[in-house]
Structure 1
Amino acid sequence: MAIKVVLAEDEALTREALTALLQQSGDIEVVAHTGRGDSVLELVDDHQAGLAVLDVCMPGMNGIEVAEQLHRERAGFPVVLLTCDARPGHLQRAMKAGVRGILTKGTSIRELCRVIREVDAGGGHVPLELVAEMLAAGENPLTAREAEILKAAEDGRPLSAIASQLHLSPGTVRNHIHSAIRKLKAGNRMSAVHAASRAGWI
């Protein structure tokens, strides 16, 4: 019996090529594909899919947010995550969301098929080099609020604008930014933003 897969990938050419190649495997059927993360859960339900293959970078919801949604709504649902930029923070979130298969986009279609079968059978696959990077980075030191404020500061907007956007006082925003700078051992606000972004924590 074929493994019913929903494929989510924002680039149409890549999505269509992957669909065609997976269909040739003989035991994997792409029952639906989409370029948006926020339509995955509905497609999984509508097509009674047994597994999702998700790109990390997508509009609507990114692949990690989709994995977290599936974990909440369909605990244990098998997910294979495809990433071109494996940041430690992204991997930590993915694994906490129950993602059992993680592959870089440099992988072959044969390897992707193998991992889909492995995850469908209850196993898992995360490349050792990605695990090593995740362990070296350690746990995310930022609180949810600190991460939210650094994310809002990415475009360099004034502190007052961040405070207004998040409905906080300027003093509260300033305190959280100073705390994040200290935790990340950064020299200033933008250095903290860059450090958190590189690690995948925002």
Structure 2
Amino acid sequence: MIRVLLAEDMHMIRAALTALLRLEPDIEVVAEVTRGDEIVPEALRVRPDVAVVDIDLPVMDGITAAATLRERLPSCRILVLTAMGQPGQVRRALAAGIEAFLVKDAPGDRLADAIRRTAAGLRVLDAELVSSAMEYGESPLTPRESTVLKEAARGSSAEEIAARLHLSPGTVRNYLTGAITKTGARNKIDAIRIAEDAGWL
């Protein structure tokens, strides 16, 4: 029996995935979580063979949680669920050592097969998804530009970012301008979107 932890914040999707997996004689959903920060504690409690993790989770994103889970519970294999439009996130996951991906709009019967393959230690990669992910290069942003852009993505003003990072508001604006230029964006909002899509934040 393959023991599965399911991490998905959308109630209807999670319920549908659980119902689908209950039809499989060799797969048992032993835990369900809705937030990224719940994955590791719950996995350490129930010891699943496979964690099926959505990338877009509240509090902590699925990739960060999956990378932490790999360190804390190496015996647990990880299958990441992703949308086709997130090549940058797939690139981040590959860099974090995650080797199993399933596109969210894949046919339902592929989920059970992907879980079995993941549990067996096999790679589960969508060739088109990985190819798309590889089109993005390394981030052109400096660590400080990335930090400032992340803070801006949370809705913080230049003054708030400056106070939090112990910088002057002018320096924060310079970092934002650098990020806009390097991403080829029209403005700060566009730079955030481009960087997030590319997996640079």
TM-score by length of 2: 0.89
Query: What is the CA deviation profile of residues 148-173 of structure 1, one whole-angstrom value per residue up to 9, with x for unaligned ones?
Result: 21122236654223212333222432
Count of residues paired in the alignment? 201
Q: Which residue of 2 aligns with 1:116?
A: 115
Residue 192 of structure 1 deviates from its aligned partner by: 2.1
**Cα distance 1:152–1:123, how it changes in 2: closer, same or farther (>3 A)?**
same
Asked whether 1:35 is paired with 2:34, we answer yes
Q: Which residue of 1 aligns with 2:24?
A: 25
Helix, strand or coil: the match of 2:6? strand
**Cα distance 1:152–1:121, how it changes in 2: closer, same or farther (>3 A)?**
same
Point out where structure 2 has 5 or more consecutive residues left out of the alignment: none
CA distance in 2, matches of 1:149, 1:74: 32
**Cα distance 1:136–1:76, how it changes in 2: closer, same or farther (>3 A)?**
farther
Q: Which residue of 2 aligns with 1:134?
A: 133
Q: Which residue of 2 aligns with 1:45?
A: 44
Helix, strand or coil: the match of 2:135? helix
Q: Which residue of 1 aligns with 2:71?
A: 72
**Cα distance 1:190–1:37, how it changes in 2: closer, same or farther (>3 A)?**
closer
CA distance in 1, matches of 2:168, 2:98: 37
Does the 8 Å contact 2:92/2:199 carry over to 1? no
**Corresponding letter in the other structure for 1:174:** R
Does the 8 Å contact 1:89/1:134 carry over to 2? yes
Does the 8 Å contact 1:156/1:190 carry over to 2? no
Q: Which residue of 1 aligns with 2:199?
A: 200
Deviation larger for 156-165 or 74-83: 156-165
Q: Which residue of 2 aligns with 1:7?
A: 6
Helix, strand or coil: the match of 2:58? coil
CA distance in 1, matches of 2:176, 2:16: 44
Residue 85 of structure 1 deviates from its aligned partner by: 5.3
**Corresponding letter in the other structure for 2:28:** E
Does the 8 Å contact 2:48/2:76 carry over to 1? no
Helix, strand or coil: the match of 1:29? strand
**Cα distance 1:169–1:141, how it changes in 2: closer, same or farther (>3 A)?**
same
CA distance in 1, matches of 2:3, 2:19: 14
CA distance in 2, matches of 1:111, 1:118: 10
CA distance in 1, matches of 2:74, 2:92: 15
Helix, strand or coil: the match of 2:172? helix
Deviation larger for 62-71 or 184-193: 184-193
Deviation larger for 192-201 or 130-139: 192-201
Q: Which residue of 2 aligns with 1:57?
A: 56
Q: Which residue of 1 aligns with 2:172?
A: 173
Residue 81 of structure 1 deviates from its aligned partner by: 0.8
Helix, strand or coil: the match of 1:183? helix
CA distance in 2, matches of 1:169, 1:85: 39
Query: What is the CA deviation profile of residues 75-115 of structure 1, one whole-angstrom value per residue up to 9, with x for unaligned ones?
Result: 46311111235423211221122212111210122101111
Residue 138 of structure 1 deviates from its aligned partner by: 1.5
Residue 45 of structure 1 deviates from its aligned partner by: 1.5
Helix, strand or coil: the match of 1:53? strand
Aligned residue runs from structure 1 range 86-101, under 5 A: 86-101=85-100
Helix, strand or coil: the match of 2:24? coil
CA distance in 1, matches of 2:53, 2:71: 16
Helix, strand or coil: the match of 1:31? strand
